[in-house]
Amino acid sequence: MDGNLYERQYRDHLSGYRLWDQLSHATDWILYEKNTGSYVGIDEVALSRGELYTILINKEAKGKKGSIIAIIKGTDVKTVCNVLLKMSRRRRFQVREISLDMAPNMELIAKTCFPTAKRVIDRFHVQQLAFDAVQQMRIKARWQALDRQAVDMAVAKAKGERYIAPTFENGDSLKQLLARSRYLLFKKESLWTQTQKQRAEILFREYPDIKKAYCLAMQLGLIYHQAKTKDVALTRLARWYDQVDKSGFLSFGTIARTIQTHYLNIINFFDRRSTNAASESFNAKTKAIPQLFTLIHFLPFSQGCPKKKNP
């Protein structure tokens, strides 16, 4: 059977799509109020051609049947709230905890639609800020290395000499060292391969500030791993702020101020150690749906069915 024909038959006859009670507004929003639970997650996802959607899921469903509470086109606070406020007051006040990122629109949506729910900022978004700051320093150093290499090449050319980039003991040039160090700066030292250990040793020797920044990022992650209560977490965050101030790194100062702004929602993590991983995982599944339909067009449905030729 042809893939296009199978898709049309399923949509028009087998699925009941034409009789769906949300068909009239499904392109803009869908709402399954009955799927609401005590613990929910809200996030944004890019589905079709980069178009952003806001997705609210029931985390207790663990990505299975009954996970979707709402999918709404756009991330505008007014647009999303207009849909979520269609839910009954009983359902909205049933939510005890909602996990989200640090985007101000998501916090306002959660506060407006679920006023009694405890808001928990996802730990991975907090840690990502620190990792981004480290990468920013690496990228800045790499651009400087590229500029320096371009000048050296121009000088060598003017002298009529062949330019050969100096290399370190592992065979990397300075430009290559900074480019190839990207992934190791996201990982704990205990997870480095032998090659990465050697590269990190050279990188930190040449750029001590990147080493300090890497250590600050790792220390922030340790707070999440080791602190068991809010009080312990607050104490350790205060010490981390002091280290950031002493470092003088502008990017980390920005992170510290951001954490201070959202600290009440950040430390709520230590009550149940809740994350927004369920929302991120569900978003990945929704992104895979268009790829699945693409495969349907090009793969046979049973042995012996003619394959559709690639256009």
Which CATH number do you get for residue 46? Answer: 3.30.420
Residues 165, 297: Cα–Cα separation, whole Å = 50
Residues 191, 44: Cα–Cα separation, whole Å = 31
Q: Are residues 135 and 44 in the same domain?
A: no
Q: Are residues 10 and 52 in the same domain?
A: yes
Is residue 306 situated within a structural domain?
no
Q: Are residues 8 and 96 in the same domain?
A: yes
Q: Are residues 161 and 213 in the same domain?
A: yes
Q: Are residues 134 and 259 in the same domain?
A: yes
Segment 229-278, tens digit of pLDDT:
999 999 999 999 999 989 989 888 888 888 888 989 999 999 988 876 66
pLDDT of residue 55: 93
208, two tokens: 């001590």
Q: Are residues 263 and 151 in the same domain?
A: yes
Q: Are residues 102 and 237 in the same domain?
A: no
Is residue 304 situated within a structural domain?
no
pLDDT of residue 260: 87
Is residue 88 situated within a structural domain?
yes
Is residue 212 situated within a structural domain?
yes
Q: Are residues 128 and 260 in the same domain?
A: yes
Pair 41, 260: CB distance under 8 Å:
no
Q: Are residues 178 and 68 in the same domain?
A: no
Nearest-CA neighbor of 199 among 173, 224, 219, 222? 173
Is residue 70 situated within a structural domain?
yes
Residues 301, 101: Cα–Cα separation, whole Å = 41
Q: Are residues 43 and 81 in the same domain?
A: yes
SS (H, E, C) 259-292: HHHCHHHHHCHHHHCCCCHHHHHHHHHHHHHHHH
Helix (H, G, I), strand (E, B) or coil at 112: helix
Is residue 102 situated within a structural domain?
yes
206, two tokens: 């040449």
User: How many structural domains compose the chain?
Assistant: 2
Return the biggest CA–CA distance within the chain: 80
- Name the residue range of residue 200's domain: 124-268
188, two tokens: 């704990």
Is residue 199 situated within a structural domain?
yes
pLDDT of residue 36: 95
Nearest-CA neighbor of 120 among 302, 309, 264? 264
Pair 124, 275: CB distance under 8 Å:
yes
Taking 50 as the pLDDT cut, the residues of the chain under it are 292-311
Is residue 175 situated within a structural domain?
yes
CB count, 10 Å around CB of 151? 10
Q: Are residues 148 and 231 in the same domain?
A: yes
Residues 217, 247: Cα–Cα separation, whole Å = 12
Residues 275, 98: Cα–Cα separation, whole Å = 10
Q: Are residues 72 and 171 in the same domain?
A: no
Share of the chain above pLDDT 70, in %: 87
pLDDT of residue 19: 77
Helix (H, G, I), strand (E, B) or coil at 299: coil
